[in-house]
Structure 1
Amino acid sequence: MRKLKEIILNLTVWLCAMFTVSVLASIVGFIFIKGIKLIKPSFLFSDYSANGSGGILPMIVATLYTIFLAVLIATPIGVLAAVYLKEYAKQGKIVKIIRFATESLAGIPSIVYGLFGGIFFVVVLGFNYSILSGALTVSIIILPFIIRTTEESLKTVPINYREASLGLGATRFQTLYKVVLPSAVPGILSGLILSIGRVVGESAAILLTAGTVAQMPHGIFDSARTLTVHAYLVTKEKGNIEEAAAIGIVLIVIILILNSLAKLISKKINKANY
Structure 2
Amino acid sequence: MPPISELMMFAGLLVVAGAVAGLLAGVFGIGGGAVLVPVFYQVFGVAGVDPAVIMHLAVGTSTAIIVPTSIRSFTAHRKRGAVDTDLLKGWIVAVPLGAVLAAVVASHASSEMLRLIFAVIALVLAARMAFLSNRFHLGSELPGEPARFVVGTVFGLISGLMGIGGGVLNNTFMTLYGRPIHQAVATSAGVGVLISIPGLLGYIWAGWGDEGLPVASTGFVNWIAFALIIPIAMVVTPYGARLAHAMSKRQLETGFSLFLLFVSLRFFYSLYG
Report the TM-score, using the length of structure 1 for normalisation.
Answer: 0.28
Work out which of the two has the higher radius of gyration on C-alpha atoms and give 1 or 2.
1
TM superposition score normalised by structure 2: 0.28
Which has the higher relative contact order, 1 or 2, with Cα contacts under 8 A spaced 6 or more apart? 2
